[in-house]
Amino acid sequence: MIWLVKQFITHQTLEMKGERVRFPIRVELEYQQEGMEVSEGSLHKKILYNKSFLLKRYTGLKERDLDLLVGKRVHEAMEEYLAFPKSPLPGK
């Protein structure tokens, strides 16, 4: 069994008042792996993006909605990035 730390960047696009905004999201994953299996409960992630700027610039955008949208995109990106077809990520 080994511990891995992986970092990658994904992007999210927002449609705001006729404007399309694409912003980067930096993700850092730390998890324990044995073979192709991710150990249940070992996955820790850090998500970094310029949330304060987006909320300030787009006043109609709610923080909760932004968090849900980014969380969904990060989860999709994690599945793509890790590519464990027989072992779904814990917490899905």
Of the candidates 59, 69, 64, which has an alpha carbon nearest to the alpha carbon of residue 11?
69
In a domain, 92, yes or no: no
pTM over 0.95: no
Whether residue 90 lies inside any domain: the answer is: no
Residues with Cβ within 8 Å of residue 22, at least 6 apart in sequence:
11, 12, 13, 14
When divided into structural domains, the chain yields a total of 1
- The pLDDT assigned to 85 comes to 43
Which stretches of the chain drop beneath a pLDDT of 70?
83-92
Residue 76 lies in a domain: yes
- CB count, 10 Å around CB of 41? 10
Confidence (pLDDT) at 83 = 66
**Could you tell me if residue 69 is inside a domain?**
yes
Q: Which domain holds residue 26?
A: 2-82
- Is residue 34 included in any domain, yes or no? yes
Task: Determine the pLDDT at residue 33.
Answer: 81
